[in-house]
Amino acid sequence: MNCEQTRQNLLAFLDDQVSDAERAQIKAHLVVCPDCVTELERLRTLRASLFDAIPAGMAQLRLSQSASDRIRAQLRRERERHSLFGVLFRKRHFRLGWVRAVVPIVVVFFVLFAVLIGPLATPVSAQETVIVTPAAFSPGTDAAVRVIVRDAMTAEPLSDAEVTVRLQPENEQEILLYTGHTGSQGTADVHFRVPDYGSDYLAADLIVNTASRLGQDRVRQAVILERRFRLYLNTDKPIYRPGQRVYMRTLTLESGTILPAAGHEIVLAIHDPDGARLVTKTVRASEYGIAATDYMLPADAVYGEYRLTATLGNTVSERTVSVGQYETPRFRVEVASDQSYYAPGNVVVGTVAARSLDGAPLSGAQVTLRAFLRDASGISRLVATLQGRTDGQGVSSLRFGMPDEPSTEQTVLVLEASVVDDEGHVEWGGQVIPVAIEPLNVNVVAEGGKLRPGVENVLYVLGTMPDGAPASMVVALDIAGQTIHLTTDRYGLGEVRFVPIDRDIPVHIVARDLGGREVSKTVLLSADKGPAQLLVRLDRAAYEVGDAIRVEAFADQEHVIYLDVVREGQTISTHVLELEGGRAEFALDVSPDMVGTLELHAYQVLADGALVRDTRLAVVDSAFPVRVSLAADRATYAPGDVAQVRVDTARDGTPVQSAVGIAVVDESVFALEDRVPGFAKLFFLLEASLLASEAQIQGTSLLALLDPPDVGEVRAAQNVAARAAWVDLPTSEPGVERSTSAPAPANKWVVVLMWGLSAALCLIPLAQWGIVILQCRRIDVTRLLVRRLGIVLVVFFLLAPAAGGAIGGLFALVGVTLAKIALWFLIITWFAIAIAVGIYSWRQQDAGSQHMVLLILAYGTLSALLCNIIGQAGDPGIYWRLGIVAMFLVMLVALLVWCAMLWLEKRLGIAGAVFALVLLSVVIAILLGLVYGADSLLACTIGDPRLYSGPVGWLVACSKTELPTRAPEAIEATQVVKETVVVEKEVEKEVTKVVEKEVQVTASPSPTAVPTATPFPQPTPSRPATRLPATATAQPLPTRQPTVQPTATAAGELLPPPLLGQFRPETIYWMPEILTDDAGRLEIEISLPDFATTWRLTAFASTRQGQLGTAMTTLVVAP
């Protein structure tokens, strides 16, 4: 080390700031270099002097007391500026202090604003409008719509609410249908005439506006104005040979008005068995709604079932006729038995009678009788084969024993007789007789289909003999521990009144009839386990115009019962039934516009908006149908005669002009197949589903019910039976539209306020983030913070869904009331924690925490305010709502970051409090969404637990499924309504098709189609009078007075004379539409062909008002 280097380091050497090596080198150099030693000494001197002088000088320097005091005061002021009072005066140091002043000012501003414009003055509530309406209306008819306005929270009906109903058809002007006010039951008597735009199908919107003191609603429901028709298609006969002419005739009535569909174009078509369309003809319906055509089947026509259709718009009516080679029977074979049912081991005694078509006995014919037992699955077993000859009366007796082994349920004995006359012709006859296992049948049916717990139910007891004949018997019923004794009347019917409990009840029945036969069985009556019970009872099943329907209703919930009368899917009147002690009574006058099938929909709207309903059917007939009387001039005609027939149509004893369709057809053709005469009337009167069931309500035929007064007792019995039979029938369900207040609030300031509040709620989380980020800068250890934050977030995302799930469970467990209390408790706790954190932050003079707490409190207050306003004044709009929800979540994360920061600063207490605050916010939000009454759209949106399940939602899937969410439900409901409408339409079409087929089957002579499962008296072939009373007027005419003057003689459609070598004609007269004169009279001349047979003359009359009447008579041609 040379001198220069050494001198560089001498000072450090003296200050002991050199390394050991340097020190050694310096020392070594100093030993040899005296100059450097001198320098060292000088330096040492200087250093010592400096150590003396500088501190001495420094000691002279003291901050003067005045400056010190001044600065201290300045600093104190500076620190005080962190406080609330200092913030306004802060000048130089911009530090978010303004937040502390601005936030309370904003909150106060909003609260004052809200108070000023007054929505807070009204109680927190909202109105709700429930609309029950069919989806389709018939133009030109009277219709009603059920509109209920009620308090959404308490479910109390709101009286004196303004209701306006408008219709907005597609591409048409909106028109006002109704305006009025609700009564004390919260419902307005909304009725109007459906406007007729002349089109058969028109989509429209039904707009219902309601306004009560609680708010306004605007409900829009899509409906269609649809003209529906019923097409009744008939032919001259059911079976044809190739080369014969098929005559078709349709009568078309509008479903809604039951008036003839005059002027509509009806498409008539015939399809061959392969489905190919043979002929299509478009015919305009006459003034009376009648359209007709005919078609000559080609000589080489394929054999099989031909489908005949009549189409108008969407409505298709269909019939099937057979085409084939057949022979008309030469004579008739009838089989009779001594009993109407047999038990195993019984001896069957009976007769086979053969008579020619004109009634002459056929003696000496060979008779073969075969007896089968056929079980439910259609498997037959031959029991006996008997041979014999008819005696002079044309009768051959039969006798054989039934096998002993017990038969199964629904087994029948089939007797099949073939008779061969001396010319070698074979004719068949048969009889089906039930085989009984039990000597008696007894059954119990609850009037509502299912037992309705808590209200008085009527149980119908039906006793029948195995053949279906009513059985009067003594019945003992064991129900739920009590025994009830009753005796069924001579129609086999009895009633028991019974209040069931909420579970399925087995009923043990012991029944004994007068003959000492006894049966016992157990029937399980299932109970309706719905939340509320409503039961409606009508006094009868069928009514006439002018009657009163007595409606009784029973309910276990004290809500008003709404009763809507629905006909053809359209509500025609609405009524309100007041409950007294769970029971209500009401008398409904039957007006002419109710003719047809009525559905009486009774329902209650429960507090939660759910509907509990019950529906009963009633059939209403017009009091005065058209009576058609046919008078032939002679009882018997000789071949080739001209018969003169007088047709009289009258209504209520007064002649009425009507259109009559007349056919004269060989009666033997009908021996093969036909519908029940008088079917047409039912066709127009009954709903399709009911018509289908008609096939099953044997013995309580509606014809019997509707048509003229039998003995009152019979009618009453049939009423009961029909009511019992209809309990399970499907009924149309009118669409229900529910709406809570949503539309535009009245006051524009409210909108401004809502927007302002929404904006504030969106901005506050941003401000919080700003504070959090500013605070983050203070902490340099970002990595540590991130780790803490991670832990906090994970804990949160685990706890939040758990809390949500727990609350959902709790909510289901404790119910709304307790949940509301819990909600209030939580809200108070939330504010308490927030205020505690605030106090802490103030005491600690922690500016960041103070800002955060202020913002949190402001958020809580403002969101409560907004929820409140939304609850009664509507919705700030979807975008605001979404924004608020998103920012709410953003705020939660900001608070969690803050929480992590506090944790990092080891301020565990306040960190825990903040975490609790965040968790409580979530819990409160969820509860707000769940608790009914607190549900505004906002609360629902924010409260959706799915929001909080976050990325670990799959861990707690329950929070997604278990919790009831309100909004989706509403959407579902509307969807369901739409679906039902569509389905109904389709079903209706199908049913119309099915119905006709079924009825044909029923009417066919083969009784095999008789369903024995029905618990009602089954038809006995021996009692046709009750089944076909319509034929009463058409029985062979008692008056044989010669026709007087051919006033309105119609030539009719004279058919070409039969050609030799061909088959005999079967339809000799066909007149689809001929008008009677003003006196309701018409005379026709019919040239009878020159062979002996019996002709059936049917007349089907319909008036311009749509009333119908049928009659039938026979013209006997004897040689």
Partner 1 sequence: MVVSTKELISRYQAGQTDLFEAIFDRYKDYVYRVAYSLTKHAAESEEVVQETFLDVLKALSRYDVDGAARFETWLYRVTSNRCKMRFRRKQLPTADWDEVGEQLGNLPNGHHKDDPEQAAQQAEMRRALWLAVGRLKDIYREVIVLRYGQGFSYQEIAEACEVSIGTVKSRLNAAHGQLQDMMAGDDTFYDQAGRRQRQHSSLLVLLCVRTWSAFWGVLKTGTPWQIKYATVR
Q: How many angstroms separate the most distant Cα atoms in the chain? A: 178
Rounded to the nearest whole angstrom, what is the least distance from the CB of residue 33 to partner 1 in the complex?
A: 11
Residue 854: closest CA among 242, 99, 291: 99
Nearest residue (CB) to partner 1, 22 versus 489 = 22
The smaller minimum CB distance to partner 1, of residues 17 and 408, is found at 17
Q: Are 630 and 1065 in contact (CB under 8 A)?
A: no
- Exposed, middle or buried by CB within 10 Å (0-12, 13-18, 19+), for 437? middle
Total residues at interface with partner 1 (CB under 8 A): 52
Stretch that binds partner 1, among 28-36, 178-186, 811-819, 1108-1116 (CB under 8 A): 28-36
What whole-number distance in Å separates Cα of residue 536 and Cα of residue 603?
9
Q: Looking at this protein, which amino acid is placed at residue 838?
A: G
How is residue 808 written in tokens? 């959902």
C-beta closer to partner 1: residue 15 or 580:
15
The reply to whether 222 sits near partner 1 by the rule CB under 8 A is no
CA 187 – CA 147 distance, rounded (Å): 6
Which single residue is written with the structure tokens 């005999």? 1064
- CB of residue 831 to partner 1, shortest distance in Å: 24
Contact 436, 378 (CB under 8 A): no
Name the amino acid, one letter, at 1113. T
| Residues making up the chain, counted from first to last | 1119
Site membership for partner 1, residue 428 (CB under 8 A): no
- Mark 78-117 with x for binding to partner 1 (rule: CB under 8 A) and - for no binding: xx-------------x------------------------
Phi/psi class of residue 568: alpha, beta or left (left: φ > 0; alpha: ψ in -120 to 50)? left
User: Cα-atom radius of gyration of the chain, to the nearest Å?
Assistant: 47
As measured in angstroms, the least distance from the Cβ of 903 to partner 1 is 15
Tokens 């406080």 found at:
83
> Which CB atom, from 33 or from 302, has the smaller least distance to partner 1?
33
Beta strand ranges found along 273-407 (DSSP E): 277-284, 290-296, 304-312, 315-323, 331-337, 347-356, 366-374, 380-389, 395-401
Residue list 962-1001, contact with partner 1 (CB under 8 A): none
Out of 3, 19, 76, 359, name the contact with partner 1 by CB under 8 A. 76
What are the phi and psi torsion angles at 561 (to 5°)? -100, 130
Binding piece for partner 1, criterion CB under 8 A, among 75-83, 385-393, 675-683, 1077-1085 = 75-83
Closer residue to partner 1 (CB): 45 or 1008? 45
Q: How many CB atoms lie within 10 A of CB 782?
A: 10
Closest approach, Cβ 773 to partner 1, in A, equals 15
Nearest distance from residue 936's CB to partner 1, in Å? 41
The CB-of-768 to partner 1 minimum distance in angstroms stands at 20
Among 1, 37, 267, 759, binds partner 1 (CB under 8 A): 37
- Near partner 1 by CB under 8 A, which window of 153-161, 539-547, 658-666, 841-849? 841-849
Tell me which residues in 776-795 interact with partner 1 (CB under 8 A). Answer: 778, 780
Q: Read off φ and ψ for residue 373, nearest 5 degrees.
A: -105, 125
The beta-carbon contacts of 992-996 under 8 Å, at least 24 apart in sequence, are: 992/315, 992/316, 992/317, 992/318, 992/688, 993/316, 993/318, 994/692, 995/688, 995/691, 995/692, 996/317, 996/318, 996/319
- Nearest CA among 553, 509, 548, 521 for reference residue 535: 553
Among 387, 844, 1008, 1047, binds partner 1 (CB under 8 A): 844
849: left (phi over 0), alpha (psi -120 to 50) or beta: alpha
Which residue, 44 or 960, is less far from partner 1 as judged by CB? 44
Q: Which of 68, 199, 282, 1047 binds partner 1 (CB under 8 A)?
A: 68
- CB of 19 or CB of 526, closer to partner 1: 19
- Rounded Cα distance between 1098 and 1115, Å, is 11
Binding mask 45-64 for partner 1 (x = CB under 8 A): xxxxxxxxxxxxxx-xxxxx
- Tell me, residue by residue from 732 to 771, as one string, x for binding to partner 1 by CB under 8 A and - for no binding: ----------------------------------------
Q: Does 11 bind partner 1 (CB under 8 A)?
A: yes
Closest CB 952 distance from partner 1, rounded Å: 36
280 binding partner 1? (CB under 8 A): no
- Cβ 951 to partner 1 shortest distance, Å: 35
DSSP strands (E only) in 712-833 = 735-740
Nearer to partner 1, 37 or 799 (CB): 37
Cβ closest to partner 1, residue 1 vs residue 742: 1
Among the listed residues 5, 72, 199, 526, the single contact to partner 1 using CB under 8 A: 72
Q: How many CB atoms lie within 10 A of CB 189?
A: 17
Least Å distance, CB 21 to partner 1, is 14
Q: What is the SS3 assignment for 93? A: coil
In the complex, least distance from residue 16 CB atom to partner 1, rounded to whole angstroms: 10
Of 29-37, 488-496, 731-739, 949-957, the window that binds partner 1 (rule: CB under 8 A) is 29-37
Candidate ranges 70-78, 162-170, 408-416, 937-945; the one touching partner 1 (CB under 8 A):
70-78
Instruction: State the CB neighbour count (10 A cutoff) for residue 102.
Output: 15
Per the listing, tokens 């100059």 go with 35
Tell me the HSE value of 1023 on the side-chain side, using a 13 A CA sphere: 16
Q: Which is nearer to partner 1, 72 or 997 (CB)?
A: 72
Give the nearer residue to partner 1 in terms of CB position, either 28 or 1025: 28
Residue indicated by tokens 């504010």: 831
Under rule CB under 8 A, residue 846 binds partner 1: yes
- Would you say 66 or 654 has its CB closer to partner 1? 66
Neighbours of 54 (CB within 10 A): 10
71 binds partner 1 (CB under 8 A): yes
Write out the residues near partner 1 by the rule CB under 8 A: 8, 11-12, 15, 17, 27-28, 30-31, 34, 37-38, 41-58, 60-64, 67-68, 70-72, 74-76, 78-79, 93, 778, 780, 843-846
